[in-house]
Structure 1
Amino acid sequence: MSVFSVTAGNQNIANLITSNDWNTIFPNRAQAGHHQGATDDFYSYARFTSAVDKLSEYNVTFSSGPGGQGTSVAVSKTDGTSYTYVITSSSWAGDDYTVDYS
């Protein structure tokens, strides 16, 4: 298995972990025919890479909530969809922080 820098120029997930690496790390996945009723390989490499691709459509910004109370979490998607949540059980004390998953 190879390890690549997360600051590398090409962040394609296949450059970070290959299908063979995935199968080596996670060999005991419930696949089709599993005695517990699995009908396919839910945790397959293809599904993993699909999830990573979908995640790249999101940006999440953390900031202070209204009036400095709580934490505001703004989720925006590349298609223009956005949601804002306020978590009242915590307070964001720092500067606004955006996570871009692309």
Structure 2
Amino acid sequence: MIKSIQEALDSGKLQEILSARNELRYLYKIDERLLGDLIRLLEPFDVASRHPSAGKTPTIHLTLPTRVTLLKGLHVDPDDSDVTSQLKEMLARKVEEKLPIHIIHKMATSQP
């Protein structure tokens, strides 16, 4: 959904729609840098949410690599805005809480 907002902004369609409605004031509060940061930040979560949905195919071997990938993407960079840094820290805590790693995940990931 956030990507579609950015695409509408980039194409000028959002400006047209809001102008026709006399609602251009809503555009002034959009921080386009923060919007881009948020999209980049959430993309790995979108990808990760699709992996465990493989139907009848076992995916336990994806838990550990998915967790590592998500946490790597949540590393706070010096160039991050304060909002982005805070969001990354909060999301990293949630990933650690919601994706605990047990021995079975490590065993499923290891090569024979």
Which one has the bigger strand percentage? 1
Shared fold per TM-score greater than 0.5: no
Normalising to structure 1: TM-score of the pair?
Answer: 0.30
Higher relative contact order (CA 8 A, sep 6+): 2
Normalising to structure 2: TM-score of the pair?
Answer: 0.28
